[in-house]
Amino acid sequence: MRESTRMSLVQTPVIPVVGRLIRDNPGTISLGQGVVHYPPPPQAMEEVARFAAEPDNHKYRLVDGIPALLDRIRRKLASDNRIELTAEHSVVVTAGGNMAFMNAVLAVTDPGDEVILLAPYYFNHEMAVAMAGCRATVVATDESYQPVPERIAAAITPHTRAVVTVSPNTPTGAVYAETTLRAINDLCRDRGIYHIHDEAYEYFTYDGARHVSPASFGGSAAHTIALFSLSKSFGFASWRIGYMVIPTHLYGAVCKIQDTILICPPVVSQHAAVGAMGAGRAYCAAWLEGIAGVRRLVIEALAEIGDVCTVPRADGAFYVLATVRGGPQPMALVERLVREHHVAVIPGSTFGVTDRCTVRIAYGALTRDTAAEGIGRLVRGIRQIVGG
């Protein structure tokens, strides 16, 4: 007996591997996992109490989400994303942004098709494409981790079904300019393929950078799939709620997938999400000031070792992807950082960067105190390991 070839071709997620390293080395500060340090808003818990009082809430609910949450999402898409929903758009609640991506890939591809990912990519996107029996065509971004539309255009073949963009980006923290996103969205329309855009970090921008939703562009409805998540914005990672805006012609396919895998998104979490979205963007904004302070600390500390470590501009999410000049294999560097310096980061190889030593530094889970200690250890560790 053996696992399928399809699954054996899927990379092993690195987060649990680094998690084990951290457990084996007590006292390690993690700059690894992409989570925020704050809890969901109190309004979410109030909705959970109301959920419990209604016996019917324990039954299955609609496959695409409870009406109260769909209503909140539609209003948020109009106010925060300037997406004017029409009959051409449908909205589906999912069990998180990852599930929304899997839904999208299964809905638009056949086995053997190609999906364009920009490198560095989010590893679960690459894994989902492989699980669907498709091939990820990896297109490099430029030295600032910005997409190059001409390179994307050159990578499109008759088998290409979609281009995936993530902004603000993991693992780089790059925020894509509106002109770039428009160029990619227009390219997808002109070439008859989908533009899948992941907006999990939509509220996390700094220093005047502006998040833009391609689904708000005129003429984008029929080929644009927008993915959202409550995990980061509302400290909601374990509640597993996200949602997607899809062209209405994909609604039936997405509902088939979701009905088979999930039946309906967890209803208690959907009620909590109604409360969280009631608190809205202002809730995240209140925490963002602290995270911006931690970000400044991280950037300043890394600048001190600028001779061995380069970090392109990163105005979004809560990551930077640092290139360590003269570094060993990235996983070897991560192991030494944990064992010898008690600080954890994620190797860039897991995001498809294979030509040099890079590590992703995540700072959303840190407060100012842990940040100063954690980044201090990282800077000293890198300096010691690569010399200079």
Does position 122 bind ligand PLP by CB under 6 A?
A: yes
Does position 92 bind ligand PLP by CB under 6 A?
A: no
Residue sitting closest to ligand PLP (CB) = 96
33 Cβ neighbours under 8 A, 6+ residues apart: 15, 19, 362, 365
Does position 198 bind ligand PLP by CB under 6 A?
A: yes
Rounded distance, CA 27 to CA 163, Å? Answer: 41
144 Cβ neighbours under 8 A, 6+ residues apart: 174, 312, 313
Minimum distance from residue 386 beta carbon to ligand PLP (Å): 28
Contact region with ligand PLP (CB under 6 A), list: 83-91, 215-223, 229-237, 293-301? 229-237
- Give the containing element (helix H, strand E) for 154: helix 149-155
CB 258 within 8 A of CB 63: yes
CB 388 within 8 A of CB 360: no
The smaller minimum CB distance to ligand PLP, of residues 90 and 170, is found at 170
Rounded distance, CA 266 to CA 289, Å? Answer: 31
Contact region with ligand PLP (CB under 6 A), list: 2-10, 43-51, 91-99, 184-192? 91-99
The smaller minimum CB distance to ligand PLP, of residues 231 and 341, is found at 231
Does position 280 bind ligand PLP by CB under 6 A?
A: no
Q: At what angle do helices 97-108 and 123-131 cross, to 10 degrees?
A: 40
Does position 242 bind ligand PLP by CB under 6 A?
A: yes
Query: How many residues bind to ligand PLP according to rule CB under 6 A?
Result: 13
Minimum distance from residue 42 beta carbon to ligand PLP (Å): 21
Which of 17, 131, 187, 237 binds ligand PLP (CB under 6 A)? It is 237
Does position 269 bind ligand PLP by CB under 6 A?
A: no
* CA-based R_g, the chain, Å: 21
CB 43 within 8 A of CB 239: no
- Sketch the per residue contact string, 13 through 52, with ligand PLP: x for CB under 6 A, - otherwise: ---------------------x------------------
DSSP tag of 316: B
Q: Which residues bind ligand PLP (CB under 6 A)?
A: 34, 96-98, 122, 166, 170, 198, 200, 229, 231, 237, 242
